[in-house]
Amino acid sequence: KQEVTQIPAALSVPEGENLVLNCSFTDSAIYNLQWFRQDPGKGLTSLLLIQSSQREQTSGRLNASLDKSSGRSTLYIAASQPGDSATYLCAVSTGGYNKLIFGAGTRLAVHP
Amino acid sequence: EPEVTQTPSHQVTQMGQEVILRCVPISNHLYFYWYRQILGQKVEFLVSFYNNEISEKSEIFDDQFSVERPDGSNFTLKIRSTKLEDSAMYFCASSSGGRATGELFFGEGSRLTVL
């Protein structure tokens, strides 16, 4: 059974720092991996999608990497800002019709 | 920018009552989903829907749950007889991509509180 783990569970940093959020999954037979942002009480905003054949994806200050064989992905946030404060969720697609298995998230606080 | 919209944003109901949550997926998307998040827990898959039928469902999605695409634009989740443990945030999502490869776009969620 696929399990997704995110480390750390929470992170508090000063503005301007570069950050790395970690995601690991137990079954490497995934089709894709998606990173989301969730603000308190809100929906999920898609940040990056990495297909299983890809090694990384970039969008602005965000870069996500995927090492499928070792069951790991990292989300790199450059030059963090207070507006980046949110919970970041990692989810893997286990095939079928894109059923996503989610991690518990990393709660990020960026203080001025 | 196209988005998934959900109504109501919050619904309070009594145990045993029927609830319908509504979603309008992104217009050219073909794959539709319901997920839920119990407070403090992980987001979990409920059901996927493609070509007017359920394509996959989780163990949570028992006979009390049903989904429908009644008019080609709306996508609904019905809970026939709500239980206290159905209290959660319910998220609708849609995707244009093919099986297992598409990016999912989520709505803002409908918070269901069962008393």
Instruction: Evaluate whether B99 touches A96 at the Cβ level (below 8 Å).
Output: yes
Residue partners of B69: CB distance under 8 A and separation at least 6 = B32, B49, B52, B75, B76
pLDDT category at A94 given cuts 50, 70, 90 is confident
Nearest to A98 among B42, B102, B106 (CB): B102
Of A43, A45, A96, the CB nearest to B56: A96
How far is it, in rounded angstroms, from Cα A23 to Cα A4?
7
Looking at chain B, which residue has its C-alpha nearest residue A104? B42
Suggest the residue from A93, A98, A99 to mutate for an interface test with chain B (most B CBs closer than 10 A): A98
Is A103's CB within 8 Å of B105's CB?
no
Please name the residue of chain B whose CA is at the shortest distance from the CA of residue A106: B42
Task: Assess contact for B86 and B12: CB atoms under 8 A.
Answer: no
Burial track B34-51 (b if 16+ CB lie within 10 A, e otherwise): bbbbeeeebbbbbbbbbe
Q: What whole-number distance in Å separates Cα of residue A56 and Cα of residue A79?
A: 19
Closest-CA residue of chain B to A92: B100
Which amino acid type is present at position A55? R
pLDDT digits (tens, 9 = 90+) for B29-63: 989 999 999 999 999 999 999 989 999 999 999 99
For residue B109, give the chain A residue with the closest CA. A43
What's the order of all strands across the beta sheet hosting A19-25? A4-7, A19-25, A72-77, A62-67, A56-59
Rounded Cα distance, A3 and A108, in Å: 22
Q: Do A43 and B100 touch (CB under 8 A)?
A: no
On chain B, the residues whose CB falls within 8 A of the CB of A32 are 100-101
Per-residue confidence (pLDDT) for residue A49, from 0 to 100:
93
pLDDT range class, residue B73, cuts 50, 70, 90? confident
Contacts of B111 in chain A (CB under 8 A): 41
pLDDT (mean) for A68-96: 94
pLDDT of residue B100: 59
Q: In this predicted model, what pLDDT tens digit does every residue of B84-107 receive, in sequence order?
A: 999 999 999 999 876 656 889 999
Contacts with A94 from chain B: Cβ below 8 Å: 100
Residue B113 has pLDDT above 70, yes or no: yes
Q: Is the pLDDT of residue A64 over 70?
A: yes
Looking at the complex, report in whole angstroms how far the Cα of residue A105 sits from the nearest Cα belonging to chain B: 8
Residue of A46, A93, A104 lying closest to B100 (CB–CB)? A93
Residues of chain B found within 8 Å of residue A42, distances taken between Cβ atoms: 108-109
Compute the distance between CA of residue B53 and CA of residue B55 in angstroms, rounded to an integer. Answer: 6
Residue A7 has pLDDT above 90, yes or no: yes
Those residues whose C-beta lies under 8 Å from the C-beta of residue B79, and which sit 6 or more positions away, are B18, B19, B21, B64, B65, B86, B112
Instruction: Read off the pLDDT of each residue in A81-89 and give the average, rounded to a whole number.
Output: 97
